[in-house]
Chains A and B, each alone.
Chain A
Amino acid sequence: MKDNLNISAPVIEAKGLNLVFQTSDGPVHALKDVNLTINKGDFVSFIGPSGCGKTTFLRSIAALEHPTGGTLTVNGMSPDEARRKRAYGYVFQAAGLYPWRTIAGNIKLPLEIMGFSRAEQDERVARVLDLVELAGFGKKFPWQLSGGMQQRASIARALAFDADILLMDEPFGALDEIVRDRLNEEVLKLWARTGKTIGFVTHSIPEAVYLSTKIVVMSPRPGRITDVIDSPLPKERPLDIRDSREFIEIAHRVREGLRAGHADD
């Protein structure tokens, strides 16, 4: 995991990336000519309507989809190699905790597969539970936790094996607004404490603007990037930053980008 000695090197780099799904209705261009560079420590949000390829792009980084053209490197490697080097943790829209495992047992799942020793598993579980503020919940079963706590546990699971990159696919999409605000704050804290590079797919403009250092606006048919906004907001972001003029301006630009993407449908 200490392969990326050159810190200024991009963590994720896509050049002319294309992905075409062959469906029974003919080919679907999920990603078209996507060029994007994500640097170490960036918090990048992908926003756009359904079918714009934001999830497909995230899944391509995780080697869950395989691009049909162009190049995509993760830590300078192919996504498949990066997976073997445990370059990233992935958080899905649903927590997807195993009901037959305790919270600690769920967090141990990747550690067991990756062959960590028992002592190290316990040590890591304690550390990441603390990181997502679930210390003391290790012995509980998932159904004993609220939806927000379950999603925090799934983030802990993705953090447990110390990947430098955290990929999150609408992780809070199924949660209510209040829980979502809390978790957004916590993700920012987590990001500040761990210095990870985060890729975050969302439908929500405020969420994207509040969290990100870089906002990637995408549009559908074919899935492509229409705008990349580097956020001028400071790293320290209280919730009420969302009422500031700068925040509203960025949100406006994101909305314009989304509208422009739709205009040429």
Chain B
Amino acid sequence: MGGFWTIVARDLLLARRQGAATLLVVVFFAMTVTLFPLGIGPERVVLARIASGVVWVAALLATLIALDRMFQADHEDGTLEQLLLAGPALELVVLAKALAHWLSSGLPLILAAPVMALSLHMDARGLLVLLAAMGLGTPILSLVGAIGAALTVGLRRGGVLITLLVLPLYLPVLIFGVGGTEAAILDTSIRPHLLLLGAGLLGAIALTPWAAAAALRLALE
């Protein structure tokens, strides 16, 4: 497990040195959310109604920004093949890189979400559920995204392809994520939505590293 944390720590250090990447994700998220009041109008009731959907869609798109670089930089400079030889099992490498991706783009989105949600007049209860759902849902985005990133690692312009590959797989997260907040607003049970997201997260942790590692092995040959 030592190798796992070594890779997480290095990726976070690289992300911090780059700096701009995380900032870009958060700014993109904030700008996308801000477009909606401008486009739809400042009506309180309407905005509160669509708030959770808007925040989730913006978060979905924002996590895509840094996705194509998840393995590509390491592939281009030969780090990936060295990790295959000298690192922990490739599945652990994938898990480490997905965790680093989440810490540098999913987590900042969760931290920025309250401000954005409040600007759309979401109520406090809805906000709490939104944050809980994002806490469970955004790691799934990083993990599933890792498969897309691994499949397109050798491609020069993989970014667009990743979007097409990964967005359909993001739909369940969007549906149950928004469903939770809807349930909170309509005062029905939020439990099933959060439980499904939690189950999705466990499933993603267990399955996606294998798929992404298999794709990376193909790319390395």
Whether A associates with B in a native complex is no
